[in-house]
Structure 1
Amino acid sequence: MTISIDSFSRDNLDEGVRLYHTVFNEPPWNDEWTVETARRRLSQIIETPGYRGYSASFRGELVGLVMGNLEQWYRGKRFYLKEMCVCPSQQRRGIGTTLMEHLVEKLRNESVERVYLLTMQESPARAFYEKNGFHLNEQMGMQSLQIEP
């Protein structure tokens, strides 16, 4: 399987929105993204300073996406991986790993010292990230506040 990895830009937004909408509205996520909210989500990431994003294509069709933003930290640069997805019919074929390796190599060339992300505790994504070298950071924790209407 020959996968083409390219920069993901606003020019590819329509394809990215379709992929994102498909992936995250299916199990295990079962989200309720509309095309409009998915477009806003991806556009906001692209418009954030330090944006880096890459797409994976197979036979000219977008099958994977990884995107996030560089952030300054007191000892150097970090990368907040905001979104990553692979078309459900193309999962478990190495596309996600290929995208992750490409991202890490590009970030290494920019002297980025760390990549971090948020994902659900009990999900296939967590196992994927661990397989690709990520680990649970015991020093950090995510907290949230539900704002009632």
Structure 2
Amino acid sequence: MQSNRRNIKKASKSDLPALEEIFRLEFSKPPYNEKWGSKLAAQKIGKYFRTCTIMVCREKKEIAGFIIFHTDYWFAGKICFIDELVVREAFRGKGAGSALLSQVEAEARKRKMKSTYLLALHGCPAQEFYEKHGYNENNWVLMRKQLNPTASI
């Protein structure tokens, strides 16, 4: 997708340092308040680069945000799972996130995927954003078990 100022393309290896920094910065803010260290963020984004598709949205050559997704399988067929959608605060509300989401949905349709899934923090602006784009809650619940009593996640 391209407009006068917006360009969405598959991420290249040279994008990784910027994506890691954007990931760390944006997830350190409310409502997430996650404290990602540089090394761990690099490992996470690097793993995604090796195993998923990352699309980057640039506006006037500046990275506005990115989306990470992969193909998965369910009993009814192939599905698209969106792992991350990160838009820099300065670019929110200006169409970058919508453009990235539309790009992935178009790619999923082209690949004959049945549905698109993602996780969103309950009650946060991201949930409202996804609902505005036709996503809805389902009956699945994310569950966890704390294995280390001193761990914060």
TM-score, length-normalised on structure 2? Answer: 0.89
1:79 is displaced (CA, Å) by: 1.5
1:6 is displaced (CA, Å) by: 0.5
Residue 42 of structure 2 aligns with an amino acid whose one-letter code is: R
Unaligned runs of 5+ in 1: none
Q: Does structure 2 conserve the Cα–Cα contact (< 8 Å) formed by 1:52 and 1:70?
A: no
Q: 1:47 — aligned with what?
A: 50
Q: 1:34 — aligned with what?
A: 37
Q: 1:146 — aligned with what?
A: 146
Aligned length: 146
- The two structures, once aligned, show a CA RMSD in angstroms of 1.4
Q: 1:19 — aligned with what?
A: 22
Q: Does structure 2 conserve the Cα–Cα contact (< 8 Å) formed by 1:66 and 1:83?
A: yes
Moved more, 52-61 or 1-10: 1-10
1:134 is displaced (CA, Å) by: 0.6
Q: Does structure 2 conserve the Cα–Cα contact (< 8 Å) formed by 1:56 and 1:65?
A: yes
Secondary structure, aligned partner of 1:36: helix
Matched residues in 2 for 1:46 and 1:70: separation?
14
Q: 1:113 — aligned with what?
A: 114
Residue 121 of structure 2 aligns with an amino acid whose one-letter code is: M
Secondary structure, aligned partner of 1:45: helix
Q: 1:98 — aligned with what?
A: 99
Matched residues in 1 for 2:5 and 2:60: separation?
8
TM-score, length-normalised on structure 1? Answer: 0.91
User: CA deviation digits over 1:81-108, x for unaligned, max 9?
Assistant: 1111100111111110011001100111
Q: Percent identity over the alignment?
A: 23
